[in-house]
Amino acid sequence: MKTQTAQPSIVLVAPQMGENIGSAARAMLNFGLDRMRIVNPRDGWPNPRAVAMASSAGRVLDGAGVFSTTNAAVADCTYVFATTARHRDLTKPVMTPEHAMGLAHRKIAEGQKIAVLFGPERSGLCNADIAIADAIISVPVSSVYGSLNLGQCALLIGYEWFRQIDDTPAETAGFAKTETASKLEIDKLADHFESQMEDAGFFFPETKAEGMKLNLRNLWSRLPLTRADVQIFHGMLRQMVRWKDRAE
């Protein structure tokens, strides 16, 4: 992972339940975000329920700044996103989380200070807070049912932030390239099975034998076998032969 110390501040505006503040802290820290700002928390600050829910992500709460207005919370920022489910009448760009976090990375690279606003659980951000923002982030959800809470929304924004610095490959084989069986090893395994199955009378009737052998060769090449897998197949076949020999 590339390191990037600069990061967006997550601003919770008038959060109601301490549990949700704690849950947002955990969501953030999973994705390397640890700068929380809180505006007018309903139940005061510090909040023991937030601490209990944050659990091992408590250091996000310890470092959180508390402000009495949204304007004060973003006073030092140069670009502000507002998260909202409903599109308001305000003339303002509306972005997906992915696009918005891409923009956040680019602006931070230019030296800008970014904040992302999250509204209170019941009502969401008020229009006056949205008017402060440069752009709206709206998470696309099903048209039939859309109900993301504060912690879920913070999780998705954090996920998209992190996805753009994370360099995890889309897919890894689960084993090293050197462990993949070579074509020669596959060929020897196919030979081993073909010769023993020949002895066992598997390729019957004679007229179909060539086709059956071809199918079997094709099957072996199609399987994503490691060198260890190949040894297991050799071992099972040898054991079957021993078993047969004991029976004679």
What is the binding site for its own copies (CB under 8 A)?
A: 1, 26-27, 29-32, 55-57, 87, 90-96, 98-99, 136, 138-148, 151-152, 155-156, 159, 162-163, 166, 168-175, 179, 226, 228-229
For residues 148 and 139, the answer to whether their CB atoms sit within 8 Å is yes
The closest of 49, 25, 47 to 37, measured between CA atoms, is: 25
Amino acid identity for residue 242 in this structure: R
CB of 197 to its own copies, least distance (A): 26
Of 173 and 219, CB closest to its own copies? 173
Of 128 and 228, CB closest to its own copies? 228
CB of 40 to its own copies, least distance (A): 27
Bin 124: left if φ > 0, else alpha if -120 < ψ < 50, else beta. Answer: left
Of 38 and 181, CB closest to its own copies? 181
Amino acid identity for residue 241 in this structure: V
Of 87 and 244, CB closest to its own copies? 87
Of 170 and 247, CB closest to its own copies? 170
CB of 142 to its own copies, least distance (A): 4
For residues 36 and 163, the answer to whether their CB atoms sit within 8 Å is no
The closest of 102, 109, 105, 45 to 37, measured between CA atoms, is: 45
CB of 92 to its own copies, least distance (A): 4
- How many other CB atoms are there within 10 angstroms of residue 59's CB atom? 12
What is the maximum alpha-carbon separation in the chain? 90
For residues 189 and 220, the answer to whether their CB atoms sit within 8 Å is yes
Tokens of 117: 């606003």
- The DSSP output letter for 113 is -
CB of 85 to its own copies, least distance (A): 10
Of 65 and 93, CB closest to its own copies? 93
CB of 91 to its own copies, least distance (A): 5
